[in-house]
Amino acid sequence: MAGSATPNMRDRPRGLSTLVFRAALVAVLLGAIVGPLAGLVLWSVAERWHWPAMLPQQIGLKYWIRITQGDLLTALNRSVTIATVTTVAALVAAIPVSYGAARARLPLGPVLLMLFLLPQAFPQLPVFASATVLFYRWNLAGTFAGVVLIHMVGGLVYTVWTMTAVFRAIGEDVEEAAINLGASVTRTFFRISLPLAFPGVVASAILVFIYSLDEFTGTLLVGAPYVTTLPVYMYTASLGYELQIASVTALVLMVPGVLLLVLLERFLRAEYLAFFGRL
């Protein structure tokens, strides 16, 4: 057969060229992904930095120390509190919807699912601007509750969709077996379905928590002027051209996300997101 004389290295799993290519790929990715973030680290410790020096002329923790005194800590605290409340609320509100939709007990389930996607698939700013006007009328603007509400609007899709997929993956026969053995429907749900869904619950909780932590648009509009979360704080700092303060804030803002990424990466499988394409 033609071509048999030249063994093709491409299909050999550990050919030298493959290894070189893969190493180059990882190096390029590393540069492209870590590069911009490395700039943040440099700026956060740069007390004096003039072009074209490779590194800041004077390095120090001056700006890092300032955060322990300033209102950055307050903003961080508020961000985490809001994210926690939003996550719990979004989980509790989502479970009946997801379970009902997954088991086809909820009429119009698929339509409802699309409804939750809307805030992520549609321009948020104009809607949130309009929501702020309404929230003023209801005395929700500038309040903790108002910000949680606006975070839930964008965050519910993560819990509802992820858990629908997870409940669907748990076969109905497992539940029927329990009911058949005399367990009540409620008991079956709490003792069988929910424990089996645990990884999915964790995955969706991570997604909402991070979404809430990072949420900027809604908070900027609805939260103003009293509720300042970390992203809003950072924006204000960068407005005053305080590059260092903004960089320190940016790094602090990344900590929870990176922590969760490292600790819980195994919960965030591509498989959980594949359902986005199947709808």
Residues 197-216 that bind other proteins (CB under 8 A): 210, 213-214, 216
Give whichever of 223 and 231 is closer to other proteins, judged by the CB atom.
231
**129, two tokens:** 């601007």
Nearest-approach distance from CB 141 to other proteins, in angstroms = 12
Q: Which one-letter amino acid corresponds to residue 171? A: G
Nearest-approach distance from CB 100 to other proteins, in angstroms = 4
Residues 95-154 interacting with other proteins (rule: CB under 8 A) = 96-97, 100, 104-107, 112, 115-116, 118-131, 133-134, 149-150, 152-153
Residues 36-65 interacting with other proteins (rule: CB under 8 A) = 36-40, 42-43, 51-54
Give whichever of 127 and 194 is closer to other proteins, judged by the CB atom.
127
Cβ(178)–Cβ(191) under 8 Å?
A: yes
- Kindly report the backbone phi and psi dihedral angles of residue 58, in degrees, each rounded to the nearest multiple of 5, phi listed first: -130, 120
Cβ(201)–Cβ(164) under 8 Å?
A: no
241 in contact with other proteins (CB under 8 A) = no
Q: Which of 33, 59, 61, 65 binds other proteins (CB under 8 A)?
A: 33
Type and span of the H or E element at 21: helix 16-45
Give whichever of 69 and 122 is closer to other proteins, judged by the CB atom.
122
Question: In 135-157, which positions are buried (b, 16+ CB within 10 angstroms) versus exposed (e)?
Answer: beeeebbbbeebbbbbbbbbbbb
